[in-house]
Structure 1
Amino acid sequence: MSRIWVLGAGQLGQMLKHAGMPLNLDVQPVDIESEETFPLQDHEQVTAEREQWPETAATRQLASHPAFVNLQTFPLLADRFTQKSLIDELALATAPWQLVSNDTEAQGLHQKLGERVLLKRRTGGYDGRGQHWLREPGLDAIPQGWHEEAIAEQAIDFDEEMSVVGMRGANGQCFFYPLTLNLHVNGILLGSVAPLARLAHLQEKAEQMLGKLMHHLDYVGVMAMECFRVGDDLLVNELAPRVHNSGHWTQAGANISQFEAHLRAVAKLPLVQPTVKNTSVMVNLVGTERQDEWLTVPGAELYWYGKDVRPGRKVGHINFCLDSHTDTKAALDTLQPLLPDTYVEVLNWLRSQLD
């Protein structure tokens, strides 16, 4: 049995472990806070479920392993300044932006980027955290401690948010999943649906953009590219050099999930174009207690992460991949009273995409 170590033991690491079992891969997620020493062998592979990690005995050992796949890519994409610089270098479309340097002032950002400007911390920050809006020209200011530690982006009046997940082998071979349409509420992904026929004309463009990035980085594994759709144009929002929340639907909706695809690439197993079964929807479970009644909903495939429930924390997701849109909408109808009222907006949005 081949062994693959995963730096990080959160839900993504655990789902990688689950996906490795049918492939006879011994996937070992490692807690980033651990001070243990692990029995890594030179021939074993190391991957990661996250872009950043603290300095601990475990992370030092894994990050120094000679077979840590994509090691140089993680710091490059974990820093929004170097990530955006790479996107510009490759001439890929993205929102106008600039570094918040020591002499940057809010008024200058408004003059260059417009009335609405979003500040993003260069590192860390996810699910809407690590962000600050400048919306009042002449009145607002850059928060203390954000100079040199943030980038500023022009607010984009986008039509929709979407993402594409791709895989690349060590031989340069690439395959892609269909574009996924996403709904974010307060910066947190709450719902996804894929594929949608009305987005098919954008698929080739998305694949070319993500493929260009992966080839440039000589990347191996699964990468996600989040985009804004503005008409028929795609603007890169953020990149994730790992399996991604918006690809969770592939666990139900494709013959190869994003987790299996990543492991195949890392383990140098054959990659193939995934076969998509039906239109899938994913409902992200955020800050809500587990309900066994979810399991009674026709077609519901529950993934519960086993984490303490806290407001704003992703604690699980439910996938649906049913034979018809009618069946999926009926399942969402059954699910709705079993979720907090805040999910009415999410389920209505999902149903509207299936009409």
Structure 2
Amino acid sequence: MSVLWVLGAGQLGAMLKQAATPLGVDVRPVDIESTDTLALGPTDIVTAEREEWPDTVATKQLATHSNFVNLATFPQLADRLTQKQWLDRLELATAPWFSVEADSTAAKAHEILGERVLMKRRRGGYDGKGQYWLKQSESIEIPEEWKGQAIAEQAINFDEEVSLVGVRGKNGETHFYPLTLNLHINGILYASISPLERLKPLQSKAEAMLSKLMDALDYVGVMAMECFRIGDDLLINELAPRVHNSGHWTQAGASVCQFENHVRAVTGMPLAPANVKNQSMMINLIGIDVDYQWLNIKGLELYWYKKDVRPGRKVGHLNFCCDDLSVLQSALSTLNLPDPYPEAFTWLSKNLPQK
């Protein structure tokens, strides 16, 4: 079996390695700042846990390997301008937008997109970073450093945020996980729930949208599509050509998790439709220290990333999967975490199916 190299050595790389171990696949995540000369073989395979990377000794070696799966896709989706252009080209619904250029003005942005406009950096920016609001009532102008470096989107008054995680094989075979309901606080994903019976009517529509994109890109592996739900319609907000935070619940809640299906896809193994086990929920651990007493809570599964704890940094997550909804509700009432977690727990309790 060839080695599967992962460009990036964060938590996603670690979870890919964990999922690949039972399959006998040797996964080697590589720090993007590494100065080591990697022992890449000609039949080895390269994937990535991130959309873009700096130009370093390690990344140069990996990014020039002939078996880097989806190499051409990353620059197209990492840049929000070309990502939006792909969505428009494929006639996939997204928020009205335009490219912020040297002559762009806030007045023109409001004329085109309305009273509230969100600017996003074309590159980078995640967990609420790389964003700048233009609100007509505040008479804010576009900063010079944003011109030519951003897109502007119409603010969407959405009902909910949902995501779809799918996997596509080299032969075009696709499988999808159930739609996931997500809660973001200050731009950071705090909690997810899946599956939900009430989201099932949107499943086929979401699958058709993501399939159209993956087929057009001839994409291989796991991709995530984050959407705004507005009534019975979906607008694509962001795309991630990799395993995704909103799919972490599949580690506990599905017969084959997103990480294993990604490994299968990029190495050419048979894919597997995921059988959903029970009701799942996921809670991100953000800027808080690990407490191993959490393991006393029934149904809780801890994933700790071994990162330095800093405000706003994802340092782990908790998965729950159970057919007894009272166990999930009990876990929410037992966990004692600082603000804004009470808001997240209330949201989870409200959106979990009722008995």
Query: TM-score higher than 0.5 here?
Result: yes
Cα 1:95/1:26, change in 2 over 3 Å: same
1 CA distance for matches of 2:326 and 2:207? 30
Which moves more between the two structures, 121-130 or 1-10? 1-10
2:342 is the alignment partner of 1:344: yes
Counterparts of 1:341 and 1:68, CA distance in 2: 42
Q: Is the 8 A contact 2:284 2:318 kept in 1?
A: yes
Question: Cα gap change, 1:248/1:117 in structure 2, threshold over 3 Å: closer, same or farther?
Answer: same
In structure 1, what residue type is equivalent to 2:59? T
Alignment match, 2:281: 281
Mark the runs of 5 or more structure 1 residues left unpaired by the alignment: none
- Cα distance in structure 2, aligned partners of 1:227 and 1:188: 15
Aligned to 1:102: 102
Q: Tell me the residue number matched to 1:154.
A: 154
Instruction: State the Cα deviation string for residues 62-115 of structure 1 (Å, max 9, x = none).
Output: 000000000000000000000000000000000000000111000100011000
Q: Secondary structure at the match of 2:128?
A: coil
Instruction: Name the CA distance, whole Å, in 1 between partners of 2:257 and 2:106.
Output: 44
The alpha-carbon deviation at position 279 of structure 1 amounts to 1.2
SS at match of 1:199: helix
1:260 paired residue number: 260
Q: Does 1:293 align with 2:316?
A: no
Q: Does 1:240 align with 2:240?
A: yes
- Residue 250 of structure 2 is matched in structure 1 by 250
Contact 1:107–1:137 at 8 Å: present in 2 too?
A: no
Q: Deviations over 1:274-319 (max 9, x none)?
A: 0000110000000001111111110100000000000000000000
What is the alpha-carbon root mean square deviation over aligned residues? 0.8
Matched, 1:67 2:71: no
In the alignment, is the contact (CA less than 8 A) between 2:286 and 2:316 conserved in 1? yes
Q: What is the distance in 2 between the residues matched to 1:257 and 1:143? A: 43
Query: 1:282-321 maps to which residues of 2 (within 5 A)?
Result: 282-321=282-321
Deviation for aligned residue 1:137: 4.9
- The within-5 A match list for 1:94-133 is 94-133=94-133
Which aligned runs of 4 or more in structure 1 are off by greater than 3 angstroms?
A: none
**Contact map agreement 1:250 1:258 (CA 8 A) in 2:** yes
**Paired residue type of 1:255:** S
Contact 1:51 1:241 in 2 (8 A): yes
How far is the alpha carbon of 1:322 from its aligned partner?
1.0
Task: Among all aligned residue pairs of Structure 1 and Structure 2, give the percentage whose two residues are the same amino acid.
Answer: 63
Structure 1 CA distance for aligned equivalents of residues 314 and 307 of structure 2: 9
- The equivalences for 1:77-92 within 5 A come to 77-92=77-92
The answer (yes or no) to whether the contact 1:226–1:239 under 8 Å persists in 2 is yes
Distance 1:298 1:160 in 2: 29
Q: What SS does structure 1 have at the residue aligned with 2:145?
A: coil
The alignment's TM-score, normalised by the length of structure 1, stands at 0.98
* CA deviation map 1:186-221 (0-9, x unaligned): 000000000000000000000000000000000000
Secondary structure in 2 matching 1:25: coil
Q: 2:215 and 2:129 mapped to 1: Cα distance?
A: 30
Q: Is the 8 A contact 1:101 1:148 kept in 2?
A: yes
Number of aligned residues? 353
Structure 2 Cα separation of the partners of residues 94 and 284 of structure 1: 27
Q: Kindly indicate whether the alpha-carbon contact (under 8 Å) linking 1:109 and 1:152 is maintained by their aligned counterparts in 2.
A: yes
Quick one: structure 1 residues 160 and 81, their matched pair in 2 at CA, closer, same or farther if it must change by over 3 Å? same
User: How far 1:342 moved relative to its partner?
Assistant: 2.0
Q: Which runs of 5 or more structure 2 residues have no equivalent in the other structure?
A: none
CA contact (8 A) 2:2 2:43 kept: no
- 8 A contact 1:243–1:259 mirrored in 2: yes
